[in-house]
Amino acid sequence: MITQWCEVFFDSIAKEEMIFMTVAKDYIEKVYKKVEDRGPHQKEFLQAVRELFDTIEPALEKNPHYIKWNILERMVEPERIVSFRVPWMDDKGDVQVSKGFRVQFNSAIGPYKGGLRFHPTVNESILKFLGFEQIFKNSLTGLPIGGGKGGSDFDPKGKTDAEVMRFCQSFMTELQRHIGPTLDVPAGDIGVGGREIGYMYGQYKRLNGAETGVLTGKPVVMNGSLARTEATGYGLVYYTQEMLKANGKSFAGQKVIVSGSGNVAIYAIQKVHEFGGTVVACSDSNGFIYDETGIDVALLQDIKEVRRERLTAYAAEKATAVYKDGSVWDFDLNYDIALPSATQNEIDKEQAERLVKAGVYCVSEGANMPSTLEAVEIYADNNIFYGPAKAANAGGVATSALEMAQNSAHSHWTFEEVDGKLQEIMTNIFKTAEKTAEEYGIPGNYLAGANIAAFVQVADAMIYQGLV
């Protein structure tokens, strides 16, 4: 009799779990279809949504009230999107017109926070994907910041300082209506460094008075934070080191490839070398350099940060370096760790398969969504340790939030203080992803662990605030 009762009891539990699983899956697909129907051409945004949705089903099964509150459909719709014209005059006296955007995606846990990107590829889909990712990246930092992103299709490459200044002043003349230290705090991204931030802040100050916390990534002389330039690259390596340590490995003695040659890549290379690894290749938009002795960071910094030249200059000056056109992920090289830090979707399925053949056992992302969904599947199928972008490259926005804290307190922290806080934040991000994956019965799945941990925090905050 007891045996029969037990069988009935456990059968009922199993059926109940199956019902929740079915309901959760159906809800996910229903919401995704709505997103797809609303913006079928927004492929980058759809990819970001799909990646999150594919991993958070366990959270919806465990917390069915998220479905009742229709959290997913509310979460995928930005709170606000602003687009505007940016007229500016070039050095020839000709009038040019660019398009500006700000996507204020989610403010459930704090003011909108996310970079401004100046690049010809900028459009609403790319900014929506970046803003959507930013929600969860910011959540993982443990700091009170929401998600947003913005920018323009203006290309600062090849422009004079005067042209960049005129564009930035025009851009900020409109943007300043929509931002503020407790509302929305933009930062830099691709094409937006200290020069651009300085020009934009100057215009904001002229129109609104001195509010130092309205932009982050400012030069230190403008109340910016030390270690901000290094933060994303350093943070990437700190996160990856924790992931390696959790699996009995480290950077010591490992060959590493880093794509890109901007701030993220340069400072990731520097930190990998400090941890005993050797970065043998990095890239720019035209090609890549392979240097079997290890990338000379000082030379790379001089070429990219001072002279603003292409990587061909590195190969011309370093006897051990070889330059090749094309993607660094398209060549058969033997190495252990990949740190893609250039741009979105730079590694596809075939390139991921090439990484496996090369002997890569760890991929950690310094860029935003540099791996396609098919590439991520290859990583999973081959048991590659995978650090998703929203976790691994959160060091930049974390340090931006630390800059906000310094501005609010009218204080300056030392480089060591900021770097120490950054290490602590990145360690906590990994441990949170690791612990969450274990709690949901998927140990070692750091992608799902990061997504679920970030999603749950934002979803709970949204529920507490009601239908807003």
Q: How far apart are CA 387 and CA 370, in angstroms?
A: 11
For residue 62 the two structure tokens come to 């465990």
pLDDT, position 154: 98
| pLDDT computed for residue 167 by the predictor | 98
pLDDT at 273 over 70: yes
Q: SS3 for 198?
A: helix
Name which CATH class applies to 80-211.
alpha beta
CATH of domain 229-387: 3.40.50.720
pLDDT in tens, 139-197: 999 999 999 999 999 999 999 999 999 999 999 999 999 999 999 999 999 999 999 99
- Parse the chain into domains and list their residue ranges: 2-75, 80-211, 229-387
pLDDT at 17: 46
- Catalytic positions are 149
pLDDT value, residue 8: 39
Tens of pLDDT, residues 92-128: 999 999 999 999 999 999 999 999 999 999 999 999 9
Cβ neighbours of 447 (radius 10 Å):
23
Closest CA to 150 of 188, 109, 120: 188
Q: What is the structure's pLDDT at 265? A: 97
Residues ≥6 apart with Cβ < 8 Å to 272: 237, 251, 256, 258, 278, 279, 339
Same fold, 80-211 and 229-387: yes
- For range 451-457, the mean pLDDT: 98
Q: How confident is the model at residue 22 (pLDDT cuts 50, 70, 90)?
A: confident
Helix axis angle for 415-439 and 124-140, nearest 10°, is 90
Q: What is the overall mean pLDDT for the chain?
A: 94
The answer to whether 105 touches 175, Cβ cutoff 8 Å, is no
Reported confidence tier of residue 13, pLDDT bands at 50, 70, 90: very low
Say how far apart CA 406 and CA 122 lie, in whole Å.
Answer: 31
